[in-house]
A and B are shown apart, each in its own frame.
Chain A
Amino acid sequence: MGLKMKKMKKVEIIIESIYLNRLLDLFMENGVTGYTIIRDIEGYGGHGLKTADEANDFLSNNYIFTVCEEEKIEKMLEKIRSFIDRYGGKCIISDSLVLLHSKESR
């Protein structure tokens, strides 16, 4: 019996932690109800070194990812673009295959 997979888009966003709630509001408004957050990530980019060990942690970065249907992400793209225009950050979208639960694949 072959395992059922569904083609979806994976959306990965890196933003400053202080803007997280605003991004999650945007997700909710556009029907994206599931996501994963990794807080306090470190790295280097346009704003220099971002560390996760400072007392004023509002500038530390968060990583958020979700998978959703292509139509949904297409409707959201312009909003995400103006979001990162204003607040900075990175958004990466890639094709992915999601392994469906046995109930969903029936």
Chain B
Amino acid sequence: MNLDLIIQNILNPPILFFLLGMLAVFFKSDLTIPQPLPKLFSLYLLIAIGLHGGYELSHSGINTYIFTALFLAILMAIIVPIYSYFILRIKLDNYNAIAIGATYGSISAVTFITGITYLQTIGVEYGGYMVAGMALMESPAIVVGLVFATLFTKGSKDEDKNKTDWKEIFREAFLNPSVYLLVGALIIGILTGQKGWDSMEPLFGNLFKGMLAFFLLDMGLVAAKRIYELKKVGIFLIIFAIAMPIFNASVGILLGYLFELSQGDTFLLALLSGSASYIAVPAAMRLSVPEANPGLYLPLSLAVTFPFNISLGIPLYYYFITILWG
């Protein structure tokens, strides 16, 4: 793989701040970011990405190409948790296979956002509708997880304990804060178009990379704290947490190629397919499959897949694309 692609990605201030955060934990620095701030940054990033995507959608409108891109996004979000479950069942019990499968079936918004900044750095165009694709990819894995939980774990405990509160869980799947805010900002972006974006750009456009750097600094701290938990996870799952994103991204790239998506859109589809959720799905799984161990699915997603994707995965997937497109 071209070393330049990796260097171009890593020598991005937000990625370096992520590494700085990780090093703070390894060197036992007292660096902390007060709790409400990372939440503010994550809300900011979701609004910014939603607004910008909506604004671009208001320009492009909906056509067959966009419909295909969104269809592929949903398709990946449905099939990844299904085949991941069956792979995980080789070594794991039902509960953990369901929860980890769902975690890898869903997406990480920050990985996507980092991918967008990478495309901007190397000057590759992408469509704003991929933000809608990201929003659409967040929930299907939760639904697949819930269906699997109902199908494969029934009868293992008494009825009362297995009572599923579908209303609560569907609310978690479709109205969780990140999906809600992202879709809301996307709609506001579509409704207000160019004029709306112009008025919002000073906050949600110009400051974007700085806020991402701040958020990734916190993510570095969080991810590094979880690395210590990997000792209990086992080698099979650590290999899974790196091999599965590469495989999923490759399937995404192949689909993008077959359906003639642009390089930028295929890259984002691949990155979304290869990313794993660390907020929405783990929260939904904790509610619906409490028997699954969060000590497995959270460190895998946060401390292995997320750092891998934003450092090596991004240039790797882009490299695959340059090979295929020639």
A-to-B contact residues, CB < 8 Å:
16, 18-19, 21, 40, 47-48, 51-59, 82, 86-88
Q: What CA separation (Å) do A40 and B36 show in the bound complex? A: 11
| Residue of chain B at shortest CB distance from A82 | B161
Closest 3 CB pairs of A and B: A58-B283, A53-B35, A56-B279
Are B298 and A56 within 8 A (Cβ)? yes
* Closest-CB distance, A1 to chain B (whole angstroms): 47
A28 to chain B, nearest CB (A): 15
Instruction: Please determine whether B298 and A59 come into contact, CB atoms closer than 8 angstroms.
Output: yes
Decide if the interface of chain B is mainly helix, strand, loop or mixed: helix
- Residues of chain A contacted by B168 (CB below 8 angstroms): 21
Q: Which of B34, B161, B222 contacts A54 (CB 8 A)?
A: B222
User: CA of A19 to CA of B38 in the docked complex: distance in angstroms?
Assistant: 23
Residues in B whose Cβ lies below 8 Å from that of A18: 283, 286-287
- Main secondary structure on A side of the interface with B: mixed
Q: Which A residue sits closest to B286, measured CB to CB?
A: A18
Binary A-proximity of B248-287 (CB < 8 A = 1, otherwise 0): 0000000000000000000000000000001100110011
27 residue pairs bridging A and B, Cβ less than 8 Å apart: A16-B286, A18-B283, A18-B287, A21-B168, A47-B295, A48-B295, A51-B225, A52-B35, A53-B32, A53-B33, A54-B38, A54-B222, A55-B39, A55-B222, A55-B279, A56-B278, A56-B283, A56-B302, A57-B39, A58-B283, A58-B286, A59-B286, A59-B294, A59-B298, A82-B160, A87-B290, A88-B290
The answer on a CB contact under 8 Å between B290 and A86 is yes
Instruction: State whether A56 touches B35 (Cβ < 8 A).
Output: no
Measured in the bound complex, the distance between the Cα atoms of B229 and A51 in whole Å is 14
CB of B102 closer than 8 Å to a CB of A = no
List A contacts of B32 (CB < 8 A): 53
Q: Which residues of B contact A (CB under 8 A)?
A: 32-35, 38-39, 42, 160-161, 168, 218-219, 222, 225, 229, 278-279, 282-283, 286-287, 290, 294-295, 298, 302
Q: Which of A40, A58, A82 has the most CB of B within 10 A?
A: A58
In the complex, which residues of chain A have a beta carbon less than 8 angstroms from the beta carbon of B294? 59
- How far in angstroms is the closest Cβ of chain B from A40? 7
Distance between Cα atoms of A51 and B160 in the complex (Å): 32
Whole-angstrom distance between the Cβ of A77 and the nearest chain B Cβ = 16
Q: Tell me which residues across on chain B come within 8 A of A88, comparing CB atoms.
A: 290
Flag if B229 contacts A48 (CB, 8 Å): yes
Assembled-state Cα–Cα distance A48/B228 (Å): 11
